[in-house]
Amino acid sequence: MKTKPKNIYNRSSPRVTVIGSGVCGLGIGWRLSELGYKVDVFEAEEVGKGATWAAAGMLAAGVECEPGEEKLLELTTKSQKMWPNFLKDLAKSTDINPHYKDEGTLVIAFNNDELSKLKFNYKFQSGLGIDLEWLDKEEVRNMEPHLNTKTLDAVFSKNDHQVDNRFLLLALMDAFKNSGGKIHEKHRVESIKIEKGRVKGIVIDSVFHEADIVLLAAGAHSSTIDGLPSNIIPPVRPVKGQMLALQMDINRPLAKHVIWTPNSYLVPRDDGRLIIGATVEERGFNSEITAGALYSLLESAWRTLPTIEELPIVETWCGFRPTSRDDAPILGPTEIEGLVLATGHHRNGILLAPLTADTISEYILTGNIPSEIEDYGIDRFIN
Ligand SMILES: Cc1cc2nc3c(=O)[nH]c(=O)nc-3n(C[C@H](O)[C@H](O)[C@H](O)COP(=O)(O)OP(=O)(O)OC[C@H]3O[C@@H](n4cnc5c(N)ncnc54)[C@H](O)[C@@H]3O)c2cc1C
């Protein structure tokens, strides 16, 4: 049943404009449409072909946690736990299956250096309460028989799952449309119009479109839209990631779990694709696929699963992580009334999708900033 929106902006039927059709824009757009808001998503290119399309879909709050990310772990773990209910809700609004897989993640080591690093991370991550299991080489090979025989010990994270981000995107798009939302492809927002401290709408091809609430969710491009005062331009830059996919025999997949190695990760999909990623490059919006990147990813994947040698490469691509100055997302209102931000999710945007959608739609509905995102506003960058 739809709940009538409580309008924090003193209109009976607030119009929400969302800039960007990635997991952030569509996730929030869907939740708001379900609540009865009139939501228009404007997308510069084709729907959802940004970072959300390019990602690996790992929901790896545990094994991705590095020193310095202890605080972010609270956010990522919270979102990780929200996934099952988020998917249940999504299934009420669409028949498209996002292929959530809950086999967990293995982190492996091949030599003593890598083993030392594995031990360090195991100690650090377990110390933060992450549920990890140390496995000896026999136990690892039992779980993944195609692993290189040189594999030493490994760590198993039973809560770090995966979703097929491309199907997730299609599911969100369908759910959004089914709940009454409208998507406008090939509509690049040039600027956001602000008057007397209040958002008025957006400009596309020099045409003004009025809105009561503007949600900026333009991923790595979030700092490139005109009209914002300099102190609330989100400090987000693109961090390039190159990836490739091999096609396994769907009846005899070479891996069941997500596998992390020191130089790559391997993500087996339901359709037999094996996703291999990813580089981390500061190259602006340069979208070239390079020999060096593919070589190092393939070399690392081959060292992990030697029998990939015969598999066809079915796709190569790259994407741009929307990365903020402190690698954490930028979520919530700004000093401009009606202007809301959901950007800067760096390498965690898929993992954080449920939390982003729920907290931002709750803020728009109630006017209260949910406690989970209180520390993630744009104001943390304003000196
Ligand atoms: C290689 C790679 C691997 C990754 N792997 C993972 C992973 O395993 N797990 C995980 O959780 N995260 C992962 N990520 C990160 C994740 O993909 C992102 O954090 C997330 O997709 C960001 O979503 P978004 O909606 O903010 O941005 P996007 O998906 O980039 O969407 C933004 C949209 O805004 C549009 N846009 C831009 N400018 C304008 C404009 N002016 N007007 C209108 N529209 C505009 C863009 O065209 C784009 O479609 C990965 C990212 C990359 C690149």
Is the pLDDT at 7 greater than 80, yes or no?
no
CATH superfamily for 15-55+167-235+326-381 is FAD/NAD(P)-binding domain (3.50.50.60)
- E strand or H helix at 92: helix 70-93
Tokens of 262: 């020191």
What local confidence, expressed as pLDDT, does residue 11 receive?
Answer: 53
Task: With CA atoms as reference, report the closest residue to 319 among 345, 300, 301.
Answer: 345
Q: Do domains 15-55+167-235+326-381 and 101-160+237-324 have the same CATH topology?
A: no
Average pLDDT over residues 103-116: 96
- E strand or H helix at 58: strand 58-59
CATH 3.40.1170.60 is the classification of domain 101-160+237-324: no
Q: At what angle do helices 165-178 and 23-34 cross, to 10 degrees?
A: 30
- pLDDT grade for 3, boundaries at 50, 70 and 90: very low
For the chain, the structural domain boundaries read 15-55+167-235+326-381, 101-160+237-324
What local confidence, expressed as pLDDT, does residue 48 receive?
Answer: 83
Gap between the Cα atoms of 213 and 279, Å rounded: 36
- E strand or H helix at 33: helix 23-34
Is the pLDDT at 1 greater than 50, yes or no?
no
Distance, CA 238 to ligand 1 centroid (Å)? Answer: 10
Gap between the Cα atoms of 172 and 98, Å rounded: 9
Phi first, then psi: give them for residue 311, nearest 5 degrees.
-80, 145
What pTM value is reported for the model?
A: 0.96
Q: Is 135 helix (H, G, I), strand (E, B) or coil?
A: strand
What local confidence, expressed as pLDDT, does residue 12 receive?
Answer: 61
Residue 268 CA neighbour count, 13 Å, CB half: 22
Instruction: Say if residues 75 and 376 touch (Cβ distance below 8 Å).
Output: yes
Task: With CA atoms as reference, report the closest residue to 115 among 154, 143, 146, 142.
Answer: 154
222-236 residue pLDDT tens: 999 999 999 999 999
Which residue's alpha carbon is at the smallest distance from atom 51 of ligand 1? 55
Residue 7 class from Cβ within 10 Å (0-12 exposed, 13-18 middle, 19+ buried)?
middle
Instruction: Calculate the alpha carbon distances from 266 to 175, 260, 281, 306 in Å.
Output: 29, 6, 19, 13
45-94 residue pLDDT tens: 999 899 999 999 999 999 999 999 999 999 999 999 999 999 999 999 99
Beta bridge partners of 192: 202
Q: Which atom of ligand 1 is nearest to the CA of 278?
A: 1
Is the pLDDT at 286 greater than 90, yes or no?
yes
124-179 residue pLDDT tens: 999 999 999 999 999 999 999 999 999 999 999 999 999 999 999 999 999 999 99
Tokens of 372: 């989970």
DSSP string across 269-302:
-TTSEEEEE---B--TT-----HHHHHHHHHHHH
When the pLDDT of each residue in the chain is averaged and rounded to a whole number, the result is 95
Instruction: Say if residues 174 and 33 touch (Cβ distance below 8 Å).
Output: no
Average pLDDT over residues 17-21: 98
Ligand 1 first shell, C-beta below 6 A: 19-25, 42-45, 48-52, 54-58, 188-189, 217-221, 225, 241, 243, 277-278, 319-322, 343, 345-351
By most ligand atoms within 8 Å of CB, the mutation choice from 18, 26, 42, 43 for ligand 1 is: 43
Gap between the Cα atoms of 189 and 159, Å rounded: 39
- What lies within 8 Å, CB to CB, of 113 at 6+ separation is none
Task: With CA atoms as reference, report the closest residue to 96 among 178, 171, 23, 31.
Answer: 171
Task: With CA atoms as reference, report the closest residue to 14 among 28, 30, 35.
Answer: 35
